[in-house]
Amino acid sequence: MMPLAMVMLGGGLGALTRWSLTLIDRDTDDERILLDFPWATFSANVLASFVLGVVVRILGSSTDPLKESLLLLLLATGFCGGMSTMSTFALELLMLVRRSSTVTAVGYLTLSMGCAMAAFWVGTMLVP
């Protein structure tokens, strides 16, 4: 029962974090940003990758397997899984292509993958 509770709690918090990023994106002055770029999803995926890198690095050195397992479920599976979103990424990418924003779509695809991988790597390197 405890593993289920950890995933539910972490997933809920991660989803709320992602939703909060969409609210910030909507409140941003539209004249200052590239309107076609899905900033909220991009930010959520990069941030989730960074947090996952930190979590993996910290919990990889844990000596308590049960504690490690529950924290991984809470933070990695739950929080990071709830915050990141491949399905929304795919939908937004398709919408960009359908609007003939091909350059933006390619940029979104390239930046999302590259920045998420870089963020994960930085997360693993920040923790000694």
* Burial track 19-55 (b if 16+ CB lie within 10 A, e otherwise): eebbeebeeeeeeeeeeebbbbbbbbbbbbbbbbbbb
Tell me whether residue 82 is annotated as binding: no
| Distance linking the first and last C-alpha atoms of the chain | 33
> For residue 8, what are its two tokens?
């539910």
Asked if residue 20 belongs to a known ligand binding site, the reply is: no
* Positions at the binding site for Na(+): 81, 84
* Positions at the binding site: 81, 84
